[in-house]
Amino acid sequence: MERKNLALLCAGVVCFWLFALAFGTAQGSGLRRQSPVVQTAVQPQGPVQLTTEPPALELPCRAACLIDQQTGTVLYEKNADQQMPIASITKVMTLLLTFEAVHNGQLTMDTPVPVSEHAYRMGGSQIWLEPGEQFTLDEMIKAICVSSANDAAVAVAELVGGSEQGFVQSMNARAAELGMTNTVFHNACGLDAEGHLSTARDVAVMSRYILNTCPEVLHYTGIWTDTLRGGATQLVNTNKLLRRYNGITGLKTGTTSGAGVCISASATRDGLDLIAVVLGAPSSSDRFDAATTLLDYGFAAYRAVPLPAVEEQPLLIKVKGSAEESVPLDYSALPETLLMPKEGDAALTARANLPDALDAPVQQGQAVGTVRVLSGETLLGEYEIRAAADAPKMDFGTAFGLLWGALTGRDD
């Protein structure tokens, strides 16, 4: 019996060394190179294929841009890349950086916001802050979103960035990260300043980002009236579309002598989310009329269509060269709906494109394939399928442990 066990052990060792040699040869010859589909970066749904040109809308403003919030698809534009002042729409970036500071744990909504002499001296719309006075961050954000308070915006900027100047540096860095190539900020509130400029397209990009990543902003932008200081200070929303337009949710108005009258308006109907940017209107009524015209066009011409079920949607994929035989698949990058022209009637299909197996190592979150969504034969979008778990590459020690366990019947 002992000789038999010894023979089995020797045979196992020989098999192990043959396995190790083959494993190393495969690694060296590049047989475990990653499949190209894994390395390809996939972009979200691009511009919708339009069957007709958008109409020439009568818009009483210098520049405008209408986009779909989910995809970023531009549905209408007018002088969208022309640089100009944007007044208090600047505060969208101030709010974005503030909410991100809350998300990363730097602040909470109950954090007290001190008022400096610098914040106190802000002109324009304000809530008449006094030096040394304190409000919670929640109250300050309410004042910014509802009453467009410049003093509150600067006080919050000083809290988040240490100083308004330091905060402005972060604003410009964040704008660059978002691809706002025609935007330069010089203050946190939007008062006219030389070189403080943006474009309708950049404002749309910024507005879309805050709405998609900080949806809590809508809690504040949807407030019609409120109070501070125990009812002594009245807040009334500057966005009058809240009472005039079906589905309006926000976002920010702005008015200065240099910028004219502006708005970035967000609205939702039947699952379709739109953002209409209007810059340089001659009056408040013109601003709201232009935004209404843009939104009316968008809701009349487009619809949000549920994503069709993915054909042959596997939940696992095999892995070669790892102790893990397979990894689960993550389809969370797929949207719930797709943007489509209302006139389109072609059937939608969604098809998974995956290799037969992956080569180790595989990292959780790694793109391993795509889902292609088509309308007839027209590609509407391509979305990543990701690995939902790690599958490390098998090394010598792991291979020996597995072999030893198989020979001895032990799994430790």
Which of the residues are catalytic?
88, 91, 148
Q: Are the beta carbons of 341 and 50 closer than 8 angstroms?
A: yes
- Establish whether the linkage from the previous residue to 159 is cis, with ω within 30° of 0: no
- In whole angstroms, what is the distance from residue 115 CA to residue 135 CA? 9
What's the burial of 19, exposed, middle or buried (CB within 10 Å: 0-12/13-18/19+)? middle
- In whole angstroms, what is the distance from residue 330 CA to residue 109 CA? 33
**Quick one: CA torsion of 276, 278, 284, 286, rounded to 10 degrees?**
-90
- In whole angstroms, what is the distance from residue 71 CA to residue 338 CA? 8
Buried b (16+ CB within 10 A) or exposed e, 297-316: bbbebbbbbebeebeeeeee
**Sequence-ordered list of residues with C-beta below 8 angstroms from that of 73, at least 6 positions apart, any chain:** 45, 46, 47, 48, 67, 339
